Structure 1
Amino acid sequence: MTTVAGPATTASADVRTQTIGLWTGLCAGVVVLVGFLVYPGFFPPMSPSMPADEVAAFYRDNATMVRATMITWNLVGIMVLPLFMVIVVQMKRMATQSHVLAYCYLTAAVSGATIFALADIFFLVAAFRPNRSPELVQLLNDMAWIVFVAPVGMLVAQNLLLALAVHLDAGPHRVFPRWVGPFALITGLAMAPAAGAAAFPDGPLAWDGAVSFWLRNGAFVSFVVVMFFVLRTTLRRQAAEEGATP
């Protein structure tokens, strides 16, 4: 005898799956953040003006920690994506003319994950043979840092797309609170100047600068933390509206 799932059962499964994705993304984010905090090159961040010999010495002296951190990021970093995919699902629930904004958000999030993975690989390659020519180690270090910090276009796009979707949500029950739009816009604009890390070797826009490194990463972490609580509340409301089990 075949059992046909009713609307309430389907809604319950949908909310439950989104909740799993939300918590998976948060837990993976915590692991990535711990790796960020223990990585010896982030506090303080390595300077672009560091001589090649010092760069090579850093990777030679910290090869084990660099490898451990980057392997952890390689395995866990991609699991932050489910949190952003919950945002995509919720954007598709908004009363807009089409799902184009949600699909654009999805593309930007996947692009960001790919770039993050590339930066991770460059750090790993620099530590793979720390005894190679200091100039080659410095080159790999430059590539790792610039790829890690400078490509923020996809992050800015994500936040602008979310802000626009929230603004255009004309449904009787808004999916996200109205303030999420300005919040996404502000955090996106705060990350935008980090693009200068590819051109400025010193100052606040360098990859170790107050704007490119600290403001960019601080804005990103703040966005993830705030959106976790916003999404948790949204999922509970969706469950109540659809008669599903939270």
Structure 2
Amino acid sequence: MSAVASELAAPPASLVGRIGWHWKHNPKIELWIMWWAMVCFYQLFGVVFALMTRVMPPPAPWWDQARIVQWFNDNHYGLLWGFGIIFLVAGITASMNALIAYSMTRMSVSRAFSYIYVAIYSLATLPGMLLTAIFLTVGALRPDRDPAVISWLYDASFTAFVGTMGVFLIGTSVWMLAVLLDKNRVFPLWFAYLNICNLLTEIVVAPMWIFKEGPFAWNGIIAFWVDTLVFVVYTIAFITLLRRLIVREDFGDGPLPELEQRT
């Protein structure tokens, strides 16, 4: 092996050197960037929505106007700073959708699946995250608004966050069908069945537009807690499987090599 080939075969020992080497020579660098962006986004999403803004778990839907106004006052700075971060990093969802769409292009199914998925989940970002951020930010910016308006913003934000799951259901169905029809076995069949579990939870949240208390309210055991548990398992599963895909990737158009065959 020549000296040049030997230099390209192994990255330097230092951290900065390894990063630079992979940036220049690793053919999978774009895939890894998108994968790490996905991991970082979900970590940040959890911190913002659960710890900073107190949106997860959601507060009660039966509160009166005075209690809702008090909730905005109690979480004023958390809402502003937390959703300010979300507005800055929301574009990362595009790279996440792109990586999942890329996985579909490695399947034996039509590329229409990947295009439909990107279109659906690009739209899903609005009701699933941004509308909630916009409504609650508007309420926090003007605490002196009419309590009736604050109450409306409160209702609109949490019904958008928990209840508008139609676009997610369609996107999950597209991914499920792609996995079931794929002959290249990019993802295992059990992941298709996990997609079914995820889309079923998005069906059972529909009654939260009606109920103010009980298991089907937006903070109920079924509409929120069971739904969230399934989504967390689902998210961990597809992040792990996408990492496995990148490790196995050989940039061919057939089945991916098995992990044990890779060095």
TM-score of Structure 1 vs Structure 2, range by shorter chain: 0.7 to 0.9
Structure 2 equivalent of residue 85 of structure 1:
98
Asked if 1 retains the 8 angstrom alpha-carbon contact of 2:53 and 2:82, the reply is no
Q: C-alpha separation between the residues in 2 aligned to 1:178 and 1:101?
A: 17
How many Å apart are 1:112 and its aligned residue? 1.2
Structure with more contact order per residue of length (Cα contacts < 8 Å, sep ≥ 6): 1
Change (3 A) 1:44 1:150: closer
Q: C-alpha separation between the residues in 2 aligned to 1:81 and 1:179?
A: 26
Q: Give the 5 Å matches for 1:60-79.
A: 60-79=73-92
Asked if 2 retains the 8 angstrom alpha-carbon contact of 1:25 and 1:81, the reply is no
Q: Does 1:138 align with 2:138?
A: no
Q: Give the 5 Å matches for 1:110-121.
A: 110-115=122-127, 116-121=129-134
Q: How many residues align?
A: 231
Q: Does 1:179 align with 2:193?
A: no
How many Å apart are 1:241 and its aligned residue? 6.2
The percent identity for this pair of structures is: 25
Amino acid at match of 2:120: A
Q: Does 1:102 align with 2:80?
A: no
Structure 1 equivalent of residue 236 of structure 2:
225
Change (3 A) 1:101 1:47: same
Asked if 1 retains the 8 angstrom alpha-carbon contact of 2:159 and 2:218, the reply is yes
How many Å apart are 1:40 and its aligned residue? 5.5
* Contiguous gaps of at least 5 residues in structure 1: 1-10
Q: C-alpha separation between the residues in 1 aligned to 2:60 and 2:235?
A: 27
Higher deviation after alignment, 214-223 or 159-168: 214-223
Amino acid at match of 1:112: A
Higher deviation after alignment, 136-145 or 178-187: 178-187
Change (3 A) 1:226 1:203: same
Change (3 A) 1:240 1:110: closer
* Secondary structure in 2 matching 1:131: coil
Q: TM-score, normalised by structure 2?
A: 0.80
Change (3 A) 1:187 1:175: same
Q: C-alpha separation between the residues in 1 aligned to 2:113 and 2:190?
A: 18
Structure 2 equivalent of residue 213 of structure 1:
224
Asked if 1 retains the 8 angstrom alpha-carbon contact of 2:120 and 2:168, the reply is yes
Q: C-alpha separation between the residues in 2 aligned to 1:228 and 1:75?
A: 22
Q: TM-score, normalised by structure 1?
A: 0.86
Q: C-alpha separation between the residues in 2 aligned to 1:89 and 1:80?
A: 14
Which of the pair has more CA radius of gyration? 2
Structure 1 equivalent of residue 47 of structure 2:
34
How many Å apart are 1:229 and its aligned residue? 0.8
